Structure 1
């Protein structure tokens, strides 16, 4: 089904998310409002060996010239999984001359929470926080902004803190990846940026590593 051209000639939007133990892949036509294909591959440590096979099971390589835009979750997440998927997305964007949207996994969670049945208060910013044993916490700050694609603004990118006491006094919500829901958010963010006519060069899209071993824990 996915290797056939669209009757209207619309290219594909491909989204990749590997900020957890699973690889999420989403596919929809640019200009469409719903994904046509969503897949979740619980690969764990085998992602490096099966990444291409999983991608081709969703969109065969023969159909990659039909791509019109790419989106990838940049983390925080596992070092290997996030790095490999971002590198793959950058390579495809470079070789196929495509725009690439890189969006943090925390911002995707924020979008999902705001669109869910129990959204955080829209009166002010809120934190998303992940606890790391013996390392501290990774937290990012988010808010509602209807003028931004996706309706969410990342006020502070996820970074490492010693503990939650170091955070400004805003509500805190747990940072938990959920697939395929976060892949749907990734498709939505990228589609909104495309509809707004925003460019998306691949060069600035890099994995996000708040717990880099070369950086000291904040005091």
Structure 2
């Protein structure tokens, strides 16, 4: 059985920032963001502890964790997801992964629109897109060229494109376009997690969301064998 009016600690390091927020009794009671190109791994835990202290909460007062899973910076996303997994295990509470696509949607009405394409900026002018219906993903995310969206992206009725270069993507389909940016990230992650929990969702172990392979390939050689002394 879920918790009524849960206390949720949300955080994200999927871009050049370290962001965190606390939702309690359906309201954001504390939030912080620090802009940084690197150093998120060292900055995250002190930020979370300071945020809890700010509203006189301890780790034991949390019911859920919510974490941004990207797509975003490869290393940054892994930092926050690993932290969420470790904290969830130590605190024995669930952790909820929230994608950047969900963050881009309207948190005031997360389940409102029936046929929506959400677009996020990708490297080299491309876009990551994913289809949503009433707040739920309806397809796997994919990489497209915003000025030449593929025909199979078309939705039959009430199609809306929201996010990065929404006008360009919507134009060939005669769809509604709604510009949006990734902002208030930790607050939105907390609110989306709260909405999903209210829908009866059972949290699963969060994992990074990668739309394309990481730029850095893993080493091809096997690690050295460590012999017992």
Which category describes the TM-score, using the shorter chain as reference length?
A: 0.7 to 0.9
SS state at 1:208 partner: coil
The answer to whether structure 1 residue 41 and structure 2 residue 34 are counterparts is yes
Contact 1:110 / 1:128 at 8 angstroms: preserved in 2? no
Using structure 1 for the length normalisation, give the TM-score. Answer: 0.73
Residue aligning to 2:203: 200
Which structure 2 segments of 5+ residues have no match? 165-179, 217-229
Large movers: runs of 4+ above 6 Å: none
The whole-number CA distance in structure 1 between the counterparts of 2:87 and 2:48 is: 12
The answer to whether structure 1 residue 176 and structure 2 residue 166 are counterparts is no
The root-mean-square deviation of aligned C-alpha atoms, in Å, is 2.8
More moved, 164-173 vs 97-106: 164-173
Contact 1:132 / 1:138 at 8 angstroms: preserved in 2? no
The answer to whether structure 1 residue 125 and structure 2 residue 116 are counterparts is yes
The whole-number CA distance in structure 2 between the counterparts of 1:131 and 1:77 is: 8
Deviation string, structure 1 residues 112-155 (Cα, Å, up to 9, x no partner):
4x759xxxx94632231424217x43222223x2xxxxxx1222
Residue aligning to 1:80: 75
The whole-number CA distance in structure 2 between the counterparts of 1:38 and 1:22 is: 13
Which structure 1 segments of 5+ residues have no match? 1-9, 146-151
Using structure 2 for the length normalisation, give the TM-score. Answer: 0.70
The answer to whether structure 1 residue 138 and structure 2 residue 128 are counterparts is yes
Aligned residues: 185
Contact 2:23 / 2:191 at 8 angstroms: preserved in 1? no
1:214 offset after TM fit, Å? 7.4
What is the 5 A alignment of 1:157-168? Answer: 157-161=140-144, 163-164=145-146, 165-167=148-150, 168=153
1:183 offset after TM fit, Å? 2.3
The whole-number CA distance in structure 1 between the counterparts of 2:106 and 2:197 is: 17
The whole-number CA distance in structure 1 between the counterparts of 2:129 and 2:199 is: 29
Deviation string, structure 1 residues 76-112 (Cα, Å, up to 9, x no partner):
1111111100100011111211111111011111134
The answer to whether structure 1 residue 210 and structure 2 residue 188 are counterparts is no
